[in-house]
Amino acid sequence: MAFPTKTKYIIIGAGIHGLSTAWHLAEKLKAKGQGSGQDILVIDKEGIASGASGIACGVVRNNYFQPAMRELMAHSVDVWESDQEAFNYNPVGYLQISPESMHEDCANIHRQQAEIGYSSDFIEGSDKCMSYMKNIFNDWQAKGITNILHEKRGGYANNTKAIYGLAQKAEDNGVRILSGVEVRGFSFANGSSAVTAVETDKGNIECDQVIVGVGPWIKTIWDMLDLPKSVDIKGRDGKVHTDIPMWRYWALEEGVLGVEPGFLMDNNGNMPPVIHVDTDEPLYSDVDGSLITDEMWGIYYKPDFHFNGVQGGAMPYKIDKAADDVNIDPYGPKSPEFIVNDHFAHMWTSALAFCQKRFEGQIVKYRNEPSGGLGCFTPDSFPVFDHFRENVTIIADSNHGYKMIGVGALIAQEVLGEKSALLEPFRFDRYAKGKLHPVSNSPFPWS
């Protein structure tokens, strides 16, 4: 098939956002009698699920301290539940297990989840929390836990299978997906800022609308579009903080314990909820008893038949470089620089042992293989969904991406001229206006 030189809608990125947008946009065009999937072209410099979506942990949750994030995630959970088979989605639920310093935050989340009809239970008090967890795992032993938020919806999905499920839905609607096409720049209209063509290594593609959903490569495309490298942010105190870098990178730390996935079944032999533990208890080595950290820490984990073991991660760490100096390629496990090390394996397996007795002495089964990746974060670590240069729509997920499968439906709606109330809190101008999201006490930058 000949390389296309023109399309009405071009979507850059064949991951969770690009393919979700393609699928929903094709369906909406047809429903409105304004076109079809044949008007949409998806391009990716490598291929479907070749970036962050293909190595994602796959956790789906609503547990956010920010009301706008909770409402957006509830919408995405609806999409995950709409075709569990196609998305290889496991609706096992989600446990946020926390210390007293997060008690009020989690209580607020529970109350506000009830207000939007998102089902969860909230358990308070150390003894009740221990009893609750022992009813799930008889070897539970984590100390210092005073509250548990148990989301009955949510869970996790197989990372690559879910993305291929989206690709199939898009292609079934006539969308063309082209792999191995790298964006090199953009052509702009005379007398306006609109993009007239996407310049690629295979040739130029003229277009009417551009949608960018490239995950951690967002800074690369942002720079090609000549968008601001820094922003001024109005704080909650009214003070304006000037020249804040628009982008920064964090290294994501995840790994796999090479045990049978059934190793982590619950007391009844069933798949348990995804487990997320934050605590301010000191963490000691499960190897030699030495102190690993006496600062607040957190981990998440789940049995996963795709990873063939118990898979999860811990808090990311900031890359101590200016964004311009960070090499995002080669990405993920192929990176010679940004993959997990022995310190992560020691910390994570010791943290697993802190939580459950069955993990004691299991560090020898940690799968010592390259893992992890980079996340490209906005100044406040929350997404930017907005429109630039007259005909460019940006999906900058700030590493919240994989669970946000429903954002594509909202972006498709906006591309066709219908504003989304769910996306409104994530506009670029929130920084200048001081319309910032509240910050939780979690050790994770995205909670």
Residue 58, token pair as written in the block: 């796959």
Residue 190 or 228, more confident: 228
- Asked whether residue 113 falls in the same domain as residue 144, the answer is yes
Mean pLDDT of 302-326: 91
Residue 343, token pair as written in the block: 């310190």
- 236 in a structural domain: no
* Cβ–Cβ < 8 Å for 303, 261: yes
d(CA 210, CA 205): 11
> What's residue 60's pLDDT?
94
> What's residue 446's pLDDT?
65
Query: 404: closest CA among 35, 11, 8, 20?
Result: 20
Domain stop point among 377, 412, 432 = 377
Residue 316, token pair as written in the block: 């990311």
Neighbours of 235 (CB within 10 A): 10
- 235 in a structural domain: no
Domain stop point among 344, 360, 377 = 377
HSE (CB half, 13 Å, CA atoms) of 254? Answer: 23
Mean pLDDT of 35-52: 96
- 242 in a structural domain: no
> What's residue 441's pLDDT?
78
Is a pLDDT exceeding 90 seen at residue 137? yes
- 198 in a structural domain: yes
- Asked whether residue 168 falls in the same domain as residue 272, the answer is no
**pLDDT grade, residue 333 (50/70/90)?**
confident
Is a pLDDT exceeding 90 seen at residue 180? yes
- 238 in a structural domain: no
Is a pLDDT exceeding 90 seen at residue 191? no
Stated length of the chain: 447
Is a pLDDT exceeding 70 seen at residue 148? yes
- Asked whether residue 210 falls in the same domain as residue 162, the answer is yes
Q: Alpha-carbon torsion 44, 47, 48, 54, what sign?
A: negative
Query: 234: closest CA among 104, 405, 109, 379?
Result: 379
* Cβ–Cβ < 8 Å for 22, 158: no
- Asked whether residue 27 falls in the same domain as residue 84, the answer is yes
- Asked whether residue 355 falls in the same domain as residue 441, the answer is no
For position 147, which CATH number holds?
Answer: 3.30.9.10
- 233 in a structural domain: no
- Asked whether residue 267 falls in the same domain as residue 362, the answer is yes
Q: Which residues form the domain of 131?
A: 94-152+248-377
- Asked whether residue 202 falls in the same domain as residue 68, the answer is yes
3 state SS of 312? strand
- 212 in a structural domain: yes
**pLDDT grade, residue 319 (50/70/90)?**
very high
- Asked whether residue 322 falls in the same domain as residue 395, the answer is no
Domain stop point among 377, 412, 437 = 377
> How buried is 108 (Cβ within 10 angstroms: 0-12 exposed, 13-18 middle, 19+ buried)?
middle
- Asked whether residue 212 falls in the same domain as residue 330, the answer is no
In sequence order, which ranges of 276-406 are alpha helices (DSSP H)?
342-355
- Asked whether residue 283 falls in the same domain as residue 422, the answer is no
- Asked whether residue 327 falls in the same domain as residue 408, the answer is no
d(CA 186, CA 392): 11
- Could you give the number of structural domains in the chain? 2
d(CA 366, CA 363): 5
- 240 in a structural domain: no
For position 85, which CATH number holds?
Answer: 3.50.50.60
d(CA 319, CA 299): 19
> What's residue 370's pLDDT?
77
- Asked whether residue 25 falls in the same domain as residue 147, the answer is no
Whether this model's pTM surpasses 0.85: yes
Is a pLDDT exceeding 80 seen at residue 165? yes
**β-bridge mates for residue 274, sequence order:** 94
99 Ramachandran zone, left/alpha/beta (phi>0; psi -120 to 50): beta
Least confident of 199-213, 303-317, 408-422: 303-317
d(CA 136, CA 312): 19
* Cβ–Cβ < 8 Å for 371, 316: no
Mean pLDDT of 277-291: 97
**pLDDT grade, residue 447 (50/70/90)?**
low
CA distances from 408 to 143, 286, 384, 429 (A): 41, 43, 13, 21
Q: What is the C-alpha radius of gyration for the chain, rounded to an integer number of angstroms?
A: 22
